[in-house]
Homo-oligomer: A and B are copies of this chain.
Amino acid sequence: MGTRLDLTQDVGALTARIVDVESVSGNEKALADAVEEALRALPHLTVHRDGDAVVARTALGRGERVVIAGHIDTVPVAGNLPSRVEDGLLYGCGASDMKSGVAVALRLAAALPEPSRDVTYVFYDCEEIEVERNGLLRLSRRHPDWLAGDFAVLMEPTDGVIEGGCQGTLRAQVVTRGKRAHSARSWLGVNAVHAAGPVLAILDGHRARQPVVDGLEYHEGLNAVAINGGVAGNVIPDECVVTVNYRFAPDLSLEAAQEHVREVFDGFEVHFTDGAPGARPGLSHPVAAAFLSAVGGEPRAKLGWTDVSLFSGLGVPAVNYGPGDPNLAHQRGEYVALEKIIECERRMLDWLG
User: Chain A residues in contact with chain B, CB under 8 A?
Assistant: 167, 169, 171, 182-187, 191, 193-197, 199-201, 203-204, 208, 219, 221, 223-237, 240, 242-243, 245, 247, 303-305
Contact = CB atoms under 8 A, between A and B. Distances in A.
Contacts of A197: 197, 199-201, 203-204
Contact of A201 (B167, B201, B227, B236): B201
B183 A245 contact: yes
Contacts of A232: 225
Give the dominant DSSP class at A's interface: mixed
Contact of A228 (B230, B235, B245): B230
5 contacts: A169-B234, A183-B225, A184-B303, A226-B237, A227-B227
Nearest to A196: B200
9 nearest A-B residue pairs (beta carbon): A226-B230, A197-B200, A186-B221, A184-B304, A193-B224, A194-B204, A197-B201, A183-B245, A227-B229
B228 A227 contact: yes
B233 A245 contact: yes
Given A225-B232, A229-B227, A193 B183 contact: no
B223 A194 contact: yes
A342 to B, nearest CB: 29
A303 B181 CA distance: 13
A171 B236 CA distance: 13
